Amino acid sequence: MAASDEIVEIEALIARCGLKDKAAFGTLYDRTSAKLFGTCLRVLKNSTEAEEALQDIYIKIWRNASKFRPGTYSPITWLVAVARNHCIDLLRAKKGGRSVEIDEAIMLPDPTPGPERQMLASDARQRIEGCLRTLPEDRSQAVRAAYLDGYSYAELAAHFDVPLNTMRTWLRRALLKLRDCLGDGYTAADYE
């Protein structure tokens, strides 16, 4: 899909979300969540916080989609701005912090995963790392940069000195190889 076609499609999806079209919202999420997750990760520097922020961001997008004006901004720029601003607000709130009474702190759930969850996450990480090592080095670096560090396709294409569509092809094929390597029985929840 050409970049201009993608922009038109995303603009249309946002417009349909403004009309509360749930199918369009699902498609918008599928098309843009990886990029917005990368934006969240770059700002928050914590994948758990980035995942939680992403949920809130899509709620904001759903509620404010009718305010988007095509032609004023690129739809991706608008989506990234919503994500970035939300994450910056989270950081500001965290810095301000609030004092918690001792009795209140005792009632707070421990946010760290238990030993079993940590072991599963460690096993999953090792499995993913092993699968990433099966890819050519440049493809592995591109996947890490795109999905862990949040770099855009355009940034990656410039870094690796390849055309944008080549970078998209690299990432698509790399993800398919990773899926095959990880096996059909995995679910996203297994790798959190």
Domain definitions of the chain by residue range:
3-96, 115-191
Do the domains spanning 3-96 and 115-191 agree at the CATH topology level?
A: no
User: What is the SS3 assignment for the chain?
Assistant: CCHHHHHHHHHHHHHHHHCCCHHHHHHHHHHHHHHHHHHHHHHHCCHHHHHHHHHHHHHHHHHHHHHCCECCECHHHHHHHHHHHHHHHHHHHHHHCCCCCHHHHHHCCCCCCCHHHHHHHHHHHHHHHHHHHCCCHHHHHHHHHHHCCCCCHHHHHHHHCCCHHHHHHHHHHHHHHHHHHHCCCCCHHHHC
Q: What is the pTM of this model?
A: 0.50
The CATH number that domain 3-96 falls under is: 1.10.1740.10
* Mean pLDDT (10-residue bins), the chain, 192 residues: 76 90 93 92 90 94 87 84 91 69 48 64 79 91 82 88 93 89 58 40
Class for domain 115-191, per CATH? Answer: mainly alpha
